[in-house]
Structure 1
Amino acid sequence: MTRKILLFIALFILVLAVSIQAASITYKDKLGRVVNISVPVKRAVFFETYEILALLDVWDKIVGIGSYAYDNDLINAVKPNIRNIPTAGSGGGQINIEVLLKQKPDVVIAWTWKPENIKFMEEKGLKVIGVYPESLDELYDVMRLHGKLFNRQKKVDFAIKEMQKIFSLIKERSSQIPQDSKKKVLWIGGKPTSVACGIGITNDIFRIIGGINQAGHIPQRNADVSIEQIIAWNPDVIFIWGNAKYQAKDILYNPQWRHIRAVRDGNVYKSPQWSTWSPRLAIVALWMAIKTYPEHFNDIDFERIAEDFYKKVYSISYSQVKQIEN
């Protein structure tokens, strides 16, 4: 009887192990492609969304990374030796296919900015998932994808709950602002006349903080507009993309912008160089809310909330990241 029981247990363990090995997920990516991936993934290359990796603790599974990750403050805080992971190019579209093939990844996560690159990698026999979250819900979906790839769903669900706590705090305050007191806001990008429009995570964040996106009626991700149009919009607050090559002072002291209310009142702010495809989008949103409506958030201790968030989600301190950023 004992031998039969032991044999049954051994067979059960074998069947269980085989079923785990054979597990897979099917995901429809941003380009509408249906990709089937065996999970958990053992070898992965990430050209983008590496800030999501920062919460998963799966660095032993990452065999390639986008080159921009080397200079990312969060990545350097959680993975100081990040440069030990080879790069096969950048999220901007440059790909070193020889390095990529040498790493033999089970999956490649790529930005859909250049669909031809995804097609090229696919033609080389690689399984590629194209991502480009254009809303908060899409970001959550991409985060959950990362959890499924590495069997880290609980970590992702926890991070999303922590994000939602901060969003709820912001909404609670912003919902009390009368409609006629809501401020006109604008997000400008790589050049001052490139604006974030009605499609994209930035527009969702503007809604959460109670701001009126002056370019929100344009059904695009981004658009180039004239300085005359920005003057006509006359935003109360202007935010600058964190990776832009210019600073707030370049807008504040530019005579072409002097008649805009945000410039006259000194309400032009450059965002931190943080990805908006990241859990710390919630911290960016809180920072934006405080800058937009200081009178409604004057009792909020931003540093304390950020510290608590970083420790819970990334198991590091906010101060560590700030030191690297500065």
Structure 2
Amino acid sequence: MSRLTPAQTHPSRRTLLGGGLGLLTLALGACSSRDTVAAGGAAPASGTASSTGFTVTDMRGQTISFDAPVQRIATTVIPSPSMIAAVDGGYDRIVGINESTLQANRQGLFGEIFPESRSTTTISPSSFTPNIETITELAPDVVFQWADQGDGLVEPLENAGFKTVCLLYGTQEYLETWVHLFAAILGKPERGTEITGWMHTELKRLRSELAAAAPVRVVHLGQSGEGYSASNKASYMHFWMELAGGRNMAADNVSAENTVSAEQLIEWDPEVITLGGFDARTPADVYADGALASVSAVRNKRVYKAPLGGYRWEVPCAESPLMWQWAAELYHPELTSHTLRNTMREKISYLYNYDVSEAQVDAALRLEMNRGSRGYEVFEAQP
């Protein structure tokens, strides 16, 4: 719809940081408003800082010092740009991204909110290998890279002299660490506290609403060749499936690349199937798969494509509480308050400084794609 001016944004709501974050602290020095941030369980670094300098400890335990505020950010990490923009309230500091991120920006709501994100320079393919020549031309103040995908991804950046902050991925704790680490680097620690405060509030609410719910048999499927892959208990998807009142039937699926056969899906007999956003498979495709005709979710038309908001909701992102609520409303429609559309408008406005239209909410929720599935009318705009 339209970007909001600062005077139009919703007022800040200071929220105390609750439990579940792991070890990330901000230490204030006597001569600095920003000094040291430790992330991912590392001990805070020692030292002093100028009025604009600060130090962070990244998620591999390395300390990185900055002499001035960060203004130019490059990142190979696919989901990080939307989170950086959410923490910053804008996209202006992002100068380089992953090719996979660029494709997502061109498909969904994020590219409508920030049109410049559709043409941002790419600094790596989906394999995360950094293009040092391109990064050199962009001259970023910081580069974000994975902490656990091998030194071959990090060493070229550090050897070229770039300040490299490394990240770990896949849990709610790591997600909250990202939020606070980005907030520290962007000079907006209170913003990080507000976002994780919202997450803690939603965790508490859903656990309370669903405390007496009998778990629903569920799986979250991706594509593996012509077949399926199923998210196991090592995935972030497992976290929100259980939070939303589901029993992840693929929790112990440890096959190569998490592939799963039709025979296994028939044995598990999930009552609800959700589909990931990294491939083109739709509920209609699953309904048309004769091999799955006897599966409860297929017989009862309870197969749903996960939303694509500012980013793909099923993986850790700034909008993750919206995914939790979406899943809860699908798994337990009789127990949950169907307020997702209103929550989306409020939170997207807060996170990205942008007022979404009803049509944009429809597209993010994939109403057309999911309309043939049972109960999805609860996400329709009310007359």
2:278 equivalent to 1:243: yes
Of 231, 239, 262, the residue aligned with 1:227 is: 262
- 1:259 corresponds in structure 2 to 294
- 2:157 corresponds in structure 1 to 121
For 2:139 and 2:197, how far apart are their aligned partners in 1? 34
Kindly indicate whether the alpha-carbon contact (under 8 Å) linking 1:162 and 1:309 is maintained by their aligned counterparts in 2.
Answer: no
- Letter paired with 2:169: P
Shift of 1:319: 2.7
For 1:65 and 1:253, how far apart are their aligned partners in 2? 37
> Higher helix share goes to which structure?
1
- Letter paired with 1:196: S
- Letter paired with 2:219: L
**TM-score where L is the length of structure 2:** 0.72
For 1:324 and 1:138, how far apart are their aligned partners in 2? 29
- 1:182 corresponds in structure 2 to 215
Of 90, 93, 97, the residue aligned with 1:65 is: 97
2:193 equivalent to 1:157: yes
For 1:221 and 1:142, how far apart are their aligned partners in 2? 29
Could you say which structure has the larger radius of gyration? 1
When residues 203 and 221 of structure 1 are mapped into structure 2, their CA distance, relative to the original with a 3 A threshold, is farther
- 1:53 corresponds in structure 2 to 84
Q: How does 1:160-309 map to 2 (within 5 A)?
A: 160-177=196-213, 181-191=214-224, 192-218=227-253, 223-273=258-308, 274-275=311-312, 276-297=315-336, 299-309=337-347
When residues 46 and 75 of structure 1 are mapped into structure 2, their CA distance, relative to the original with a 3 A threshold, is farther
Kindly indicate whether the alpha-carbon contact (under 8 Å) linking 1:182 and 1:210 is maintained by their aligned counterparts in 2.
Answer: yes
Shift of 1:91: 4.3
Q: How many percent of aligned residue pairs carry the same amino acid?
A: 20
Moved more, 283-292 or 107-116: 107-116
Number of positions where the alignment pairs a residue of Structure 1 with one of Structure 2: 305
Shift of 1:251: 0.9
For 2:345 and 2:89, how far apart are their aligned partners in 1? 19
- 2:54 corresponds in structure 1 to 23
- Letter paired with 2:320: L
CA deviation profile, 1:142-195 (whole Å, cap 9, x unmatched) = 111101111111112112222333333322221121xxx311110111334211
Moved more, 125-134 or 188-197: 125-134
- 1:145 corresponds in structure 2 to 181
**TM-score where L is the length of structure 1:** 0.83
- 2:62 corresponds in structure 1 to 34
Shift of 1:112: 5.6
Unaligned runs of 5+ in 1: 1-14
When residues 112 and 240 of structure 1 are mapped into structure 2, their CA distance, relative to the original with a 3 A threshold, is farther
For 1:152 and 1:72, how far apart are their aligned partners in 2? 29
For 2:316 and 2:243, how far apart are their aligned partners in 1? 16
Kindly indicate whether the alpha-carbon contact (under 8 Å) linking 1:25 and 1:37 is maintained by their aligned counterparts in 2.
Answer: yes
For 2:178 and 2:116, how far apart are their aligned partners in 1? 26
CA deviation profile, 1:21-44 (whole Å, cap 9, x unmatched) = 4421122x2xx3524141632322
Unaligned runs of 5+ in 2: 1-30, 34-48, 367-383
When residues 71 and 253 of structure 1 are mapped into structure 2, their CA distance, relative to the original with a 3 A threshold, is same
For 1:233 and 1:324, how far apart are their aligned partners in 2? 31
Shift of 1:235: 1.0
Secondary structure of the residue aligned to 2:175 is helix
- Letter paired with 1:293: H
When residues 77 and 65 of structure 1 are mapped into structure 2, their CA distance, relative to the original with a 3 A threshold, is same
Shift of 1:64: 1.6
Secondary structure of the residue aligned to 1:290 is helix
When residues 72 and 291 of structure 1 are mapped into structure 2, their CA distance, relative to the original with a 3 A threshold, is same
- 1:10 corresponds in structure 2 to none
Kindly indicate whether the alpha-carbon contact (under 8 Å) linking 2:230 and 2:253 is maintained by their aligned counterparts in 1.
Answer: no
Shift of 1:60: 3.6
The CA RMSD over aligned residues, in Å, is 2.7
- 2:6 corresponds in structure 1 to none
- 1:136 corresponds in structure 2 to 172
Moved more, 115-124 or 234-243: 115-124
Secondary structure of the residue aligned to 1:187 is strand
Shift of 1:279: 1.5
For 2:345 and 2:290, how far apart are their aligned partners in 1? 39
- 1:7 corresponds in structure 2 to none
For 2:303 and 2:141, how far apart are their aligned partners in 1? 44
Kindly indicate whether the alpha-carbon contact (under 8 Å) linking 2:53 and 2:65 is maintained by their aligned counterparts in 1.
Answer: no
For 1:85 and 1:246, how far apart are their aligned partners in 2? 27
Shift of 1:233: 1.1
